[in-house]
Amino acid sequence: MLWICGSVLSVVFGTCAGWAGLMAMQPMSKVERWLKASGAPNAEALLQQFGQLAPHLPTIAATLAVLGFLPGVAYLILGFPVRRGRRAPAITAFVLSGTQTFVAGLMLVGGLLAALIAASPLDMTLVVLTWGSLTGLLTYTAWRLLRVIRGNATISNRIPSGHEPWDQE
């Protein structure tokens, strides 16, 4: 489960942080030429929005990397010792998943409130699908890790004898 969670977080947040970082490095004249060449009907409005957002893009990229990409990499690394049933990495991963669940839950509630204020069912659906599924995945991961910490289960697919299924003859 940690590997799935880590893969999802690394890919999604790594891509978003990378694009934000790349767009932060683009000069305004290049963005303006690209938008006009694209033939977008609302190119002027998009250019104005980009001009307002451009100074904040490095901060957005760093925040996405710290809050999403790096924890995803940490989950990928912690997955190996947790699978072997080691307790200290399981506790570390549990704390990490707990804090991320809290942040994703806050984003879910904030997004739902914003969608309710805007009276937009489409926005509400998108918020529930994105932040709700992430919150659910992180909650399930935290629950599984808590079971490992308490000693009730392991994350691995081992049979009760402690050997892997393919080790039996």
DSSP states of 70-93: HHHHHHHHHHHHHHTT-HHHHHHH
Q: Could you read off the pLDDT of 145-168 as tens digits, one per residue?
A: 888 888 755 555 444 555 554 554
Torsional class of 26: left (φ above 0), alpha (ψ -120 to 50), beta (otherwise): beta
In-domain check, residue 166: no
How many Cα atoms occupy the beta-carbon half-sphere of 74 within 13 Å?
A: 17
Give the structural domain span for 101.
2-156
In-domain check, residue 135: yes
What CA–CA distance (Å, rounded) separates 166 from 169?
Answer: 8
**Position 32: which residue type?**
E
Q: Could you read off the pLDDT of 2-38 as tens digits, one per residue?
A: 888 889 889 988 998 999 999 889 888 888 888 888 8
In-domain check, residue 96: yes
Go through the chain and tell me how many residues it has: 169
In-domain check, residue 162: no
What CA–CA distance (Å, rounded) separates 16 from 50?
Answer: 16
In-domain check, residue 11: yes
In-domain check, residue 167: no
**Into how many domains does the chain fold?**
1
- Is pTM beyond 0.85 here? no
In-domain check, residue 149: yes
